[in-house]
């Protein structure tokens, strides 16, 4: 008899995620995406902070505000294998928190806003903010399986239709 049990995978070993990292000292957050394991991307962020790399939103926030980052309270907002769709999801979350063209440092640590989005996406900002608030209000990190099985309510499925209508080419 062969045992088919797999070793338990660490939550941070999840690949292909859009993630949210909050500041421990203020309401600002960082939203990013990676196709690699999240643990590898977290290491890159930490390395960039140690080496004081320019264009690192988390490091800039920590240096300028003297704040601490809450690495353990990170949340996976979406799991998406397709790189372009992952970038679009990241941009939707970024634009829902900061709809103006300039980045508001009190809301986001990101140095850039992601992909350019069509104006029609702004109608979905309140819905996306509600989804973001629900996802990040949990005190414990979600496991990858729970994130993947999560289904969008029927009334929000229009977002997928809007993807084809509103996305600038």
Transcribe 38-71 into DSSP letters. HHHHHHHHHHHHHTT-TT-HHHHHHHHH---B-G
How high is the pLDDT of residue 152?
A: 53
Question: What percentage of the chain carries pLDDT values higher than 70?
Answer: 80
Residue with tokens 């309270």: 73
Taking the chain, what is the end-to-end CA distance rounded to the nearest angstrom? 54
Is residue 166 over pLDDT 60?
no
The answer, yes or no, to whether residue 140 has pLDDT greater than 90, is no
- Decide if pLDDT at 76 tops 50: yes
Cβ atoms of 45 and 58 closer than 8 Å:
yes
* pLDDT band, very low/low/confident/very high, at 138 (cuts 50, 70, 90): low
DSSP E strand boundaries for the chain: 17-22, 29-34, 75-79
Q: 17: which strand partners?
A: 34, 79
What Cα–Cα distance (Å) separates residue 102 from each residue in 6, 83, 105, 106, 110? 46, 25, 9, 12, 11
- In this structure, what token pair is assigned to residue 28? 């600002």
The whole-number pLDDT of residue 78 equals 93
Which residues are within 8 A (CB) of 127 and not within 5 positions of it... i.e. 6 or more apart?
156, 159
Confidence category of residue 153, pLDDT binned at 50, 70, 90: low
Q: How far is CA 124 from the centre of its chain?
A: 17
128 SS3 class: helix
Place of tokens 């992952």: 86
């Amino acid at each position: 008899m062969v045992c088919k049990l797999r070793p338990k995978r660490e939550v941070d070993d999840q690949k292909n995620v859009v993630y949210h990292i909050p500041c421990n000292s203020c309401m600002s957050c960082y939203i990013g995406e990676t196709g690699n394991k999240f643990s590898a991307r977290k290491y890159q962020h930490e390395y960039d902070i140690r080496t004081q790399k320019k264009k690192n939103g988390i490091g800039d926030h920590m240096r300028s505000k003297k704040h601490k980052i809450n690495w353990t309270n990170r949340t996976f907002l979406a799991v998406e294998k397709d790189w372009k769709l992952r970038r679009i999801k990241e941009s939707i979350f970024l634009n829902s928190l900061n709809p103006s063209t300039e980045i508001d440092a009190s809301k986001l640590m990101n140095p850039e806003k992601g992909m350019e989005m069509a104006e029609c996406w702004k109608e979905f900002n309140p819905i996306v903010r509600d989804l973001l608030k629900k996802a990040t209000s949990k005190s414990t990190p979600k496991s990858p399986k729970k994130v993947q099985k999560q289904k969008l309510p029927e009334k929000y499925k229009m977002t997928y239709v809007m993807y084809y209508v509103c996305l600038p080419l």
